[in-house]
Amino acid sequence: MALLVEKTTSGREYKVKDMSQADFGRLEIELAEVEMPGLMSCRSEFGPSQPLKGARITGSLHMTIQTAVLIETLTALGAEVRWCSCNIFSTQDHAAAAIARDSAAVFAWKGETLQEYWWCTERALDWGPGGGPDLIVDDGGDATLLIHEGVKAEEIYEKDGTLPDPNSTDNAEFQIVLTIIRDGLKTDPKKYHKMKRLFGVSEETTTGVKRLYQMQANGTLLFPAINVNDSVTKSKFDNLYGCRHSLPDGLMRATDIMIAGKVAVIAGYGDVGKGCAAAMKQAGARVIVTEIDPICALQALMEGLQVLTLEDVVSEADIFVTTTGNKDIIMVDHMRKMKNNAIVCNIGHFDNEIDMLGLETYPGVKRITIKPQTDRWVFPETNSGIIVLAEGRLMNLGCATGHPSFVMSCSFTNQLIAQLELWKERETGKYEKKVYVLPKHLDEKVAALHLGKLGAKLTKLSKDQADYISVPIEGPYKPAHYRY
Amino acid sequence: MALLVEKTTSGREYKVKDMSQADFGRLEIELAEVEMPGLMSCRSEFGPSQPLKGARITGSLHMTIQTAVLIETLTALGAEVRWCSCNIFSTQDHAAAAIARDSAAVFAWKGETLQEYWWCTERALDWGPGGGPDLIVDDGGDATLLIHEGVKAEEIYEKDGTLPDPNSTDNAEFQIVLTIIRDGLKTDPKKYHKMKRLFGVSEETTTGVKRLYQMQANGTLLFPAINVNDSVTKSKFDNLYGCRHSLPDGLMRATDIMIAGKVAVIAGYGDVGKGCAAAMKQAGARVIVTEIDPICALQALMEGLQVLTLEDVVSEADIFVTTTGNKDIIMVDHMRKMKNNAIVCNIGHFDNEIDMLGLETYPGVKRITIKPQTDRWVFPETNSGIIVLAEGRLMNLGCATGHPSFVMSCSFTNQLIAQLELWKERETGKYEKKVYVLPKHLDEKVAALHLGKLGAKLTKLSKDQADYISVPIEGPYKPAHYRY
Amino acid sequence: MALLVEKTTSGREYKVKDMSQADFGRLEIELAEVEMPGLMSCRSEFGPSQPLKGARITGSLHMTIQTAVLIETLTALGAEVRWCSCNIFSTQDHAAAAIARDSAAVFAWKGETLQEYWWCTERALDWGPGGGPDLIVDDGGDATLLIHEGVKAEEIYEKDGTLPDPNSTDNAEFQIVLTIIRDGLKTDPKKYHKMKRLFGVSEETTTGVKRLYQMQANGTLLFPAINVNDSVTKSKFDNLYGCRHSLPDGLMRATDIMIAGKVAVIAGYGDVGKGCAAAMKQAGARVIVTEIDPICALQALMEGLQVLTLEDVVSEADIFVTTTGNKDIIMVDHMRKMKNNAIVCNIGHFDNEIDMLGLETYPGVKRITIKPQTDRWVFPETNSGIIVLAEGRLMNLGCATGHPSFVMSCSFTNQLIAQLELWKERETGKYEKKVYVLPKHLDEKVAALHLGKLGAKLTKLSKDQADYISVPIEGPYKPAHYRY
Amino acid sequence: MALLVEKTTSGREYKVKDMSQADFGRLEIELAEVEMPGLMSCRSEFGPSQPLKGARITGSLHMTIQTAVLIETLTALGAEVRWCSCNIFSTQDHAAAAIARDSAAVFAWKGETLQEYWWCTERALDWGPGGGPDLIVDDGGDATLLIHEGVKAEEIYEKDGTLPDPNSTDNAEFQIVLTIIRDGLKTDPKKYHKMKRLFGVSEETTTGVKRLYQMQANGTLLFPAINVNDSVTKSKFDNLYGCRHSLPDGLMRATDIMIAGKVAVIAGYGDVGKGCAAAMKQAGARVIVTEIDPICALQALMEGLQVLTLEDVVSEADIFVTTTGNKDIIMVDHMRKMKNNAIVCNIGHFDNEIDMLGLETYPGVKRITIKPQTDRWVFPETNSGIIVLAEGRLMNLGCATGHPSFVMSCSFTNQLIAQLELWKERETGKYEKKVYVLPKHLDEKVAALHLGKLGAKLTKLSKDQADYISVPIEGPYKPAHYRY
């Protein structure tokens, strides 16, 4: 693999698919700005004071049109930015081109190999000899992971010269991570140590947040982290309403299948699963949920959904969607029993919910690529096929364009606020090497920034009413444990 | 007021409307048992060991058929029980009769005056000379309030002989509370002090819980409290799905109005408001939400609801429902501007959301009682009327029969588990004078007990999967802050 | 049976349950008037010209509050009216009382025996020696049936003196009809011949209309008939939206069951079935439809409903609703296999959809009346029970108050317009002894009369646009075969 | 314009965009076959007997993947086929390539000019010297129109040598039609006379059907026509459920806009409008309907939708969709008042619902093409833009891929059955020069062919039940006027 970094005339580095798409990207970015009132009003509010002046920010987050608006909000507030995508299929190439040309160093294209993916991640973290970024915007935690694994390897290497051994794992992707770190060690045995002085990461997704809490529990977290995922205006909006929008979008673009009348199995009934199940039900499908958690299962039942196990329904359903954040949900043995042309896809962050390895290595299986990210896999015994979307990865980003701008404006305004906070408090010691959630008044502010666009008017509490329910007139209005 | 306590042949005290309805009550209790799998399986699981043996429990909670099943579960587990309702209109007289005859001391009937209401509360707390109850099951906190106010008054009285002065407040209901305490002081100046040694209260409702947290914050809480309301299987079920069921039920029984095509205003979009709005939308109404909280407002918008202020829509809407837990939501000045025969009702716990005092004292206003709990109020200027349900009190209990058995089984299983816990730990010091929430594994257990009845099957985690997401195979499955 | 006709002080005949409920009835009638803009605007439009002056109208139609507004619209337009209910459980006694006291001769009460029912029908048709009514308002066709059977019997009797033999049928209800006719023949052998000169009937319901078309096909129809059921503003509104409202209403009043989470089987997916299925789905049930017609079945599938046979699901469902207009839908053999406390009810016009005879005569079966119209039937083998509503008759009228006023205003405005038309054309020969449907412009007018109440504004066609789609600017806008 | 017909190696004519897409087209056709059980089971049932042997069929119908399955069903039954699209944007080029290579003469590509469009239509009708097709499959009626206009012109020309004058109309498209006919007249003055001997047309769409009924009324219809649109399994499925699927699909592909929270205006509430409104409501938009017909307006209200005029809401809504089949619905004057980036689109057959001419000629207006079929138009006064999809033409076909296969299988099975019928009866005189609807038992058959794929099971009538409701056991089950 010999990937070359390119440079704009102004000298900014990048590697994208096709720079000629920058104009098209710019037009769609302009459309998106109108749909992202949270970010745009932050530009108005904070732009003049340049609060991110001097901050070097690395982002590892789907390089889409919406992310482009986030990046240009960061730069509008003074930051310098380097970016990679956090999924091999999620980049929108015209968005990447526009940003690379106009605003930030971008290393991302749709359809990266895993090698290319981690090369991009490394490039985004590479701020030259001075060390790494000041701040990270993360989604899924891969940038954070690379630094943590790098630091760990450097420590071992320093102790006794042992290099990481890619063959020590049979996880193909982790082999790549170890290779990158090993190769880096030879050049600069302190590379990741120089990075770890960073001021913090803000993390976007359930899966990435889970990793952070584990590191906090183990005492291995190297810098402060803000859990943006658990802002109400993130997890109860992006996860729920975003997926409600983008699951059918992905299904329709990839397969044109009529959803009405079909049986859809949604594995998992968390926020993402709730959004997916709602979308399928509304489109006229009959929805069956699989769950491990009795509370979520009871919620599904209250909405008229059936709760069964995958085994109960595997041969009757038409559409299977994994949303669990767990692994080994749909195995090749399930897939063999499915109806001809059943659709199998994953909308969870990582691609281990569907047993792609089992499928690929199934004896005699035949893969027919209908179009990119839409494959029909035919089993030899039955000559019957299933359709797998986005190779088992995030189907809404692989097959469509991900969540729409408006809901991403909620998520990304949280990201922005988290970045502002981490930078502002970079030397105050306010944030230790722990995981934090944004305070409720900021969460409410994010929501408030999005009401006007939809024509909503809020009711104002009187002093008397505020006292009666013991809240400030201006909020926050709910206790921390409130569930919305 | 000369109310007389009556006695069954076995000597148990009671005061109900009509003992001849006991058979009818029994039949409906038997139906409800089939719909309340949580309580019934607790009877099977715990009945043999009689874990509540010796416990004297006072309940202040709507004396309905569902509550009857709770009471008889408490007695089946060994407790002795005295009961009153927590709302003047919420008693189902046949339920009260059946329980009074067969199981517990009941003081409750539909249509109590406020004096009668507090007399009933006093009776339910009156366990004779030995003092009060060991445990309280509370809904809205009136039993807890009476004890706290009583203790406060006794302390003042002990200090300097000052008696509480009912004229010190212009809240008509609180005047009655003070009168009762004052009169009690003359007989037994330590009556409430004898009660306060109790082992704890489990509280059911948002409003009551708020009072408890305030007392905890002020340091005035006299005994441990378990906040049952914030169990997921309570607030996200009873409040949401219960109201989704019982709001249209109450509207239809009270007014027979066609909901389809109408404009319904839901004040507040918390769990109760969400249930109400969903019910109205599903029935074909156009729904407008009023909110103070931008996050809840944005949730309403994502469901296609309009968010405006009451002033914007007061003259165009057909149905107004308050769900806020706050006061002064719909004032007489709003009511004057409403369309002829607009329906005004409250489904929040307390009756101060609608300005009934302003309405009653409006010059020249005329009240026409269509039937009990359904009044038409005609304004003199316009000769136009509005229809007020349940005199501004809990309309689903005043005009219909409250939430259905199945969802109350979730709530009451939480109550039961809380009572078991408080009694079991009564001498261990585990619970201080604070407010507690039940641990998540019990919350999940409550849900699990309700799945079989609905034909659901849970998926089991493998060891490998459980490790991957860092949860025990048997749960609990979610972090404390998870919002469902 | 010795039923006595009573008389008001003004000499009008009646037989109702309780005249003291007249005031209550009047209050609810006044509420209903506000919800019935179609009828009320007909009072304004036609009242002054008294177009029904001299018309003697007999109605056989559920004697509810809504019907009361229809009756008083007929009298406001000049008619003289006699009325009975068309179902033994559907009368609202306060409505009957108010009408009997104030407006028309009423023979109806809730809970008639079948003998009483047909006695009432006879009374409503009895306009004294001069013969029968000029016009009939029918629902289900019982008034029309009695006249047709009467005439047939009189012809046979005239020919050879044969009297009808009640034992010639094993249908219990038809035995009563024959008995009435036989007894009438002895008194007046031309009684029904005198009636048949009437100017027409307007019929309300799918079932009644089917009878009329059969008589038309057989050439036995004795007078013109207007099929009001197939006005769009009747069958696509009352049948669909009416049932969507009144099915859950009836279920909730009768059983308080939580609908969410339950499995509901709807037999039949015509307009009534569509309304019922929508109601159950919206309330959170999982809905299974049974159908004979592949088109309706495919419609159900497109809405995400499952289509199976009753046999497939009889032991798993919680709620069974028949809407077919056919007979023998749920047999006692099905009922034996149901879950304990499964609810069985019928919302079709006639009570032969559920095998009540089979149930009543099942060896060892036990009937436990929870309350009127709610019976638990326990099978001896299993000691398991099912709950039958309204004895298998129209559950929404037996257990609740039927359809709400607004949608009945659509239906009844069609009835009123049909009556006006039949009376106006009584001597022109416009209507032969056939079944007619109202012209589309009247159908559209009925709809138009109901828009203002709901705040709707119509768009006006320009001349140019009207020409382009070849319709008059003022409508009608659709071809006759348009399905809406 | 010098378009050249190309030929396959086997000598079949075609003109498509890119023959190299044929393999891709074939793969998607194979997927679609699995979703089109109606057509595929007709292949099994009728294929062996080759009932269309000898028939020359011209189709003018969106050249999509689904249409490809129809074409190959026609050829599988023995027909010879020539095809063009009926909309300049609706061709899927890979479908056209696959059919051109494998099965039929195709003249169609995405993005034709109007000249090219009519050239294609001419080619599809051109069966060589022997005259035109035997049968036409039409959608919108353009093929039928061309023949009728051609015959009319030829008659005039024969009489006095007058040629059609393109300048006699200011409709740009009709100018092209006249030009084509004029040019044809010079070559062959009997060209269209030779065509008119055809055995019939089956027409697909509301708009085309309306034209046919007008010609029938004027006595100008030249051959029999079967109105496929008014089969229940067409208009109540394709129009309703097809649009419910493809409207959001088109919106999402074209603009990625979040639908939840937005205000959507649906102009027209016929079957198409009902599908569109349902889709927008389900996706979380607030829906406002405009209507001229009070019955449809009342239906919208019963679903909780608001009914207003376009003027009332033009400046507040976010999405505008025309579904009326009428013209001049959204004028440039409306567009000027819209919010910035409001989306304007049409899902009706013809492109005159939106005033594109007014927009294009608005002084100073600027068109910015975001991507094909997505244009932003900026008004000079406000610098505010609106987004017009598919240049005002059918947005679901222009911006997405039209209706999904399953629902098109219903529509196309009707088309197929109509073609079979017209061909079978070509010499029996059964069909006169009139418009016919398929008999109900065929409509029911179409539905029945689609049930198995969705796992449905029908209930069978007993003989006794069939007699009771007077229908044959095997159907048809409903009277002709039944509305479903």
Alpha-carbon distance D284 to D257, whole Å?
12
Could you tell me if C48 and C178 lie in one domain?
yes
3-class DSSP state of A45: helix
Please compute the mean of the pLDDT values over residues A301-315 and round it to a whole number.
98
Which residue from D241, D310, D444 is facing C459, i.e. has the nearest CB? D310
CB contact under 8 A, D261 and B287: no
Q: Is B139 a catalytic residue?
A: yes
pLDDT band at B222, cuts 50/70/90? very high
Q: Cβ atoms within 10 A of the Cβ of A136, count?
A: 28
Per-residue pLDDT tens over the stretch D161-176 = 999 999 999 899 999 9
Q: Cβ contacts (< 8 Å) between C284 and chain A: which residues?
A: 302-304
For A264, the token pair is 């859809």
Name every chain B residue with its beta carbon within 8 A of the beta carbon of D281: 304
Q: Are residues B282 and B430 in the same domain?
A: no
A360 with A420, same domain: the answer is no
Does C422 share its domain with C377?
Answer: no
Residues D178 and D300 placed together within one structural domain of the fold? no
The CA distance from B441 to B214, in Å, is 27
Decide if C448 and D294 are in contact by the 8 Å CB cutoff.
yes
CB contact under 8 A, B260 and C249: no
Residue A23 is predicted with a pLDDT of: 98
Does D28 contact A at CB distance below 8 Å? yes
Question: Which residues numbered 274-293 in D keep a CB inside 8 Å of some CB on B?
Answer: 281, 284-287
The catalytic residue positions of C are: 62, 85, 90, 139, 204, 229, 234, 238-239, 243, 349, 403, 411, 415
| C63-97 pLDDT per residue, tens | 999 999 999 999 999 999 999 999 999 999 999 99
Which residues of chain D are modeled with pLDDT < 70? 1
Say if residue C186 carries a ligand binding annotation: no
Which residue, A201, A192, A89, is CA-closest to A149? A192
Decide if D415 is catalytic: yes
Residue C139 lies in a domain: yes
Q: Does B401 touch chain C (CB under 8 A)?
A: yes
SS3 C377: strand
pLDDT tens-place string over residues C370-425: 999 999 999 999 999 999 999 999 999 999 999 999 999 999 999 999 999 999 99
Nearest CA in chain A to C303: A284
- Same domain, yes or no: A160 and A12: yes
Catalytic status, residue B142: no
User: Across the interface, which of C213, C459, C464 has its CB nearest the CB of D291?
Assistant: C459
Task: Please tell me which chains touch D, using 3 or more CB pairs under 8 Å as the contact test.
Answer: A, B, C
Give me the number of domains chain C comprises. 2
| C259–B contact, CB cutoff 8 A | yes
- Given a cut of 70, whether residue B195 has pLDDT beyond it is yes
Q: B210 with B273, same domain? A: no
Asked if residue A56 is part of any domain, the answer here is yes
Residues of B in contact with D299 (CB under 8 A): none
Measured between alpha carbons, how far apart are the two ends of chain D, in Å? 49
Q: Which of D34, D400, D454 sits opposite A341 (nearest CB)?
A: D34
Mutation site for B-interface testing, chosen from D258, D280, D286 by largest number of B Cβ within 10 Å: D286
Give domain status of residue B468, yes or no: no
- Residue of chain D with shortest Cα separation from A257: D404
Q: What is the pLDDT of residues A194-239, one digit of tens each?
A: 998 899 999 999 889 999 999 999 999 999 999 999 999 999 999 9
- Is D214 in the active site? no
Q: Which residue has the tokens 């008119």?
A: D196
**pLDDT over 90 percentage in chain A:** 96
Tokens matching residue B483: 């919002």
Q: Which of D42, D84, D243, D345 is catalytic?
A: D243
Same domain, B328 and B202: no
Residue of D nearest to C245 (CA): D302
Tell whether C281 and C425 lie within a shared domain. Answer: no
Distance, CA of C316 to CA of C337 (rounded, Å): 9
From C373's Cα to the closest Cα of chain A, the distance in A is 28
- Please report the pLDDT score of residue B350 as a whole number: 87
What the block records as the tokens of B44 is 């099977």
pTM over 0.90: yes
Q: By residue range, what is the domain housing residue D306?
A: 258-348+351-392
Q: Does A448 touch chain B (CB under 8 A)?
A: yes
Give percent of chain A above pLDDT 70: 100
Q: What integer is the mean pLDDT of B218-243?
A: 97
Is residue A214 domain-shared with residue A332, that is, in the same domain?
no
SS3 label, residue B344: strand
Q: CB pairs below 8 Å between B and C: how many?
A: 115
B65 Cα to chain C: minimum distance (Å): 10
CA-nearest residue to C214 within chain D is D470
In the residue annotation, D62 being an active-site residue is answered as: yes
Residue-wise pLDDT for B441-481, tens only, equals 999 999 999 999 999 999 999 999 999 999 999 999 999 99
Whether residues C187 and C60 fall in one domain: yes
Q: Specify if D357 maps to a domain.
A: yes
Q: Is C302 on the interface with A (CB under 8 A)?
A: yes
Contact between A457 and B295 using a beta-carbon 8 Å cutoff:
no
pLDDT at D1: 56
DSSP code of residue C227: E
B447 CB within 8 Å of a chain A CB:
yes
Q: How far is A22 from chain C (nearest CA, A)?
A: 42
Q: C-alpha dihedral over A126, A128, A131, A135, to 10 degrees?
A: -50
For position C295, which CATH number holds? 3.40.50.720
Residue A212: phi, psi to the nearest 5? -65, -45
Out of D261, D281, D302, whose CB is closest to B260? D302
User: Which of D261, D286, D304 is facing B285, going by the closest CB pair?
Assistant: D304
User: Is residue C482 in some structural domain?
Assistant: no
> Quick one: which of D309, B295, D364, C57 has its CA closest to A440?
B295
Which residues of A are designated catalytic? Answer: 62, 85, 90, 139, 204, 229, 234, 238-239, 243, 349, 403, 411, 415
H helix or E strand, kind and range, residue B366: strand B366-371
Torsions phi, psi for B469 (to 5 deg): -100, 10
Distance CA B412, CA B402 (A): 14
Those chains having 3 or more beta-carbon pairs within 8 angstroms of chain B are A, C, D
Residue B1 has pLDDT above 60, yes or no: no
Helices B22-35, B93-102: axis angle to 10 degrees equals 100
Backbone angles phi, psi at B106, to 5 degrees: -120, 135
Which residues in chain D are contacts of A407 at CB distance < 8 A? 258, 260
pLDDT of B68 > 60? The answer is yes
- Which of A284, A298, A306 shows the shortest C-beta gap to C303? A284
Q: What residue of B is the nearest CA neighbor of D301? A: B261
The domain that contains C112 carries what CATH number? 3.40.50.1480
Say how many CA atoms lie within 13 Å of B111 toward its Cβ: 8
Residue B284 distance to chain D (closest CA, Å): 4
pLDDT at residue number A1: 57
C455/B244 CB distance under 8 A: no
Of all residues in chain C, the one with the smallest CA distance to B276 is C283
Ranges under pLDDT 50 in chain C: none
How far is D281 from chain B, CA to nearest CA, in Å?
7
For β-strands B135-138 and B56-60, DSSP reports them as parallel
Is B380 near chain D, with CB under 8 Å? no
pLDDT band at B131; cut points 50, 70, 90: confident
Q: Is B234 a catalytic site residue? A: yes
Phi-psi region of B3 (alpha: psi -120 to 50; beta: other; left: phi over 0): beta
pLDDT at B2 over 80: no
pLDDT tens digits, one per residue of B394-407: 999 999 999 999 99
Nearest chain D residue to B258 by CA distance is D302
In a domain, C474, yes or no: no
Report yes or no on B469 lying in a domain: no
- Find the helix or strand (DSSP H, E) in which D288 lies: strand D286-290
Q: What is the mean pLDDT of chain B?
A: 96
Of D28, D260, D263, the CB nearest to A370: D28
In terms of domains, do A139 and A162 share one? yes
Backbone angles phi and psi of B346, in degrees to 5: -125, 135
Q: Is C270 annotated as a binding residue?
A: yes
Q: Tell me whether residue D181 is in a domain.
A: yes
b/e sequence C150-171, b meaning 16+ C-beta within 10 Å = bbebbeebeeeeeebebeeeee
Helices (H) and strands (E) in chain C, counts: 20, 17
Q: Determine which one of D21, D90, D346, D405 is catalytic.
A: D90
Strands B200-203 and B225-227, sheet pairing: parallel
Nearest CA in chain D to C234: D295
Contacting residues of B for D261, CB less than 8 Å apart:
298, 301-302, 304
